[in-house]
Amino acid sequence: MINLDTRIKVAIVEDDPEIRMNLSLIINAANDLICEHNFESAELFLKEVGDVAPDVVLMDIQLPKMNGIEAVRELKSRYRHIEVLMLTVHQNDKLVFDSLCAGASGYLVKNTPPAKIVDAIQEALRGGAPMSSQVARMVVRSFRQNQDNLLTQRERDVLEQLCEGKSYRSIGDTLFISQDTVRSHIKSIYKKLEVNSKSEAVAKALRTRII
């Protein structure tokens, strides 16, 4: 029997009741996740988040009053340890950038397959920056428009993998390099971009079109 205390607690902020129900079913069907609380507005969520104490939040952007990006900004000012994944129909670089700058850990579109949503929740808690493949491709295309000489080709390859939420081991396997080499490249990327985390690196690259 699974100890409920070890499950990842997920909260949902979404104004569409059918989507809320479907997301709850997806999460509660996973052995190591649990969703007991969902909210139709950012205001209600922020009022109760201290009692709910989620590990991860799935946050819609288009909400009735306060939007999801504003809600993330307010949440992270109070509870920096809570990870937030934006779950939305929108796919444009400004919303991705604004979400990451507000403190979101990743960005998923609403047609993301259930297994990928579960994987993204787990990856966010491991320090990753998961994105739907559609969003990751959009981000990478946007990166490559300008300033190609800031990062080396290998650093751009590593950053692309980070955009897809890959772990250090997965990046190493994909690029046929060791985890130590991955760490070295990421350290160089952070230094060049003057950032301190994966989400900051993605946001900075998106804003300045560095690759």
Q: 4-129: what fold?
A: Rossmann fold (3.40.50)
Tell me the domain boundaries of the chain.
4-129, 136-208
- Give the position of tokens 């890959």: 166
Tell me what pLDDT residue 156 has. Answer: 84
Rounded-to-integer distance, Cα 135 and Cα 147, Å: 21
CA 69 vs CA 48, 94, 134, 167, 172: distances in Å: 18, 11, 20, 26, 33
Q: Of 60, 56, 54, 55, give the one whose Cα is nearest residue 40.
A: 60
Distance CA(70)–CA(50), nearest Å, equals: 17
Neighbours of 96 (CB within 10 A): 26
- Convert the pLDDT of each residue in 76-93 to its tens digit: 989 988 999 998 887 666
Per the structure block, which two tokens stand in for 96? 């991705």
Q: For residue 73, how many C-alpha atoms fall within 13 Å in the half-sphere facing its CB?
A: 11
Q: What is this structure's pTM? A: 0.68
Q: Note the CATH number of domain 136-208.
A: 1.10.10.10
Summarize pLDDT for 139-192 with one digit per residue, the tens.
Answer: 666 555 544 557 888 888 888 887 777 788 888 999 999 988 988 888 887 777
Mean pLDDT in the chain?
82
CA-CA distance, 210 to 206, in Å (whole number)?
7
